[in-house]
Amino acid sequence: MEFLYEPWPWYIAGPVIGLTVPALLLLGNKRLGISSTLRQLCAACYPSDIPFLNYDWKKDSWNLFFVCGILLGGFIGGWLFENPATTTLAPDTVAVLQSNGVHDVSGLLPRELFTWSNVFTWQGFWLIIVGGFMIGFGTRYARGCTSGHGIFGLSALQWTSLVAVICFFVGGIICSHLILPAILLL
Amino acid sequence: MKNLKYLFVGVVFGLALTKGEAISWFRMQEMFHFQSFHMFGIFMTALPVGALSIFLIRKLNLRTANGEAIDVPEKPYHHGIIIGGLIFGFGWALTGACPGPLYAQIGAGYGVTLITFFSAVLGTWVYARVKPYLPD
């Protein structure tokens, strides 16, 4: 059980993530993809009269089981057997974050920023609410996320997924370098 | 309960994301600043494993456990890949999460990420609503 208490190096985590591709294909011809579950939830809870949300979501309900598993995996790996507080984050990154006012770099998310009380500040509005909105809007517009395009699409050697992943990174790099520092100063 | 097996695969996937710190906001900033090999190492080991297994599944004409044929359809190009991709990239850097890690962050006990998650569901709903007016 020792491995549950320690962070996994990239050369362990990466191959395990890659193995979900054949696991899902061999278990039931399912293609790895997670952003589609957001559409599933919309279709199940409030499809309204929107054609894009009126389809038989129950036919693909396997992916709702899959994401429940991810949530459970996060609970086991991040709460039950939390990684030790000492982080191996690059010192350069710590320096950049500290110069932007983020001092506590322990855990998985900055505890100073991702708090309930911060939801109602401008900072929290941009980081949590606008950020979340852009994930849901952008992934559906791109028809895939880091899993569907980044892991599955690239594994299937789809050039369109490569275009998507490049755009994900370009957006992320611009935002992390230019926009995030301004939000952190709010 | 034929779907329970996918829950199990999800647990392993979520555990790897969490233990590999691929759900860490800090790791995402580190990655976008190219200051560590960690996240790139995850991608660069996950991809060959995925690619090799799809290659073998095709080459050996493997079928599912139930004998169903396995197909990997093409993803045709549309402009949303670029526009939506950039929008998602912004959200990725702000929240430190993609949709998968979003579920894992909630599970890891960072309660406020529930708001990030509901906001993402809302974003998908609004996309569905305005889809007819957007360039495809």
Q: What is the mean pLDDT of residues A7-19?
A: 97
Cβ within 8 Å of residue A3, ≥6 positions away: B19
Question: What does the pLDDT read at residue A86?
Answer: 65
Mean of all residue pLDDT scores within chain A: 95
CB contact under 8 A, A21 and B7: no
* ipTM computed for the complex: 0.96
Amino acid at A57: W
**Length in residues, chain B:** 136
Phi, psi of B131 (to 5 degrees): -50, -45
CB contact under 8 A, B11 and A72: yes
CB contact under 8 A, B85 and A87: no
Among the listed residues A120, A39, A107, the one whose alpha carbon sits nearest the alpha carbon of residue A78: A107
**CA distances (Å), origin A20, targets B8, B45, B54, B110:** 11, 13, 11, 25
d(CA A100, CA A87) in angstroms, rounded, equals 19
3-state secondary structure of B69: strand
- pTM, rounded to two decimals: 0.96
Q: How far is A56 from chain B (nearest CA, A)?
A: 16
Q: Is the pLDDT of residue A21 over 90?
A: yes
Question: Tens of pLDDT along A37-65?
Answer: 999 999 999 999 999 999 999 999 999 99
Write out residues 132-161 of A within 8 Å (CB-CB) of B. 132-147, 149-158, 160-161
Q: How far is A46 from chain B (nearest CA, A)?
A: 9
Q: Is the pLDDT of residue A84 over 90?
A: no
Per-residue burial over A114-148, b = 16 or more CB atoms within 10 Å of its CB, e = otherwise: bbeebbeeeebebbbbbbbbbbbbbbbbbbbbbbb
Each of the 136 residues of chain B gets a pLDDT tens digit; together they read 789 999 999 999 999 999 999 999 999 999 999 999 999 999 999 999 999 999 999 999 999 989 999 999 999 999 999 999 999 999 999 999 999 999 999 999 999 999 999 999 999 999 999 999 999 8
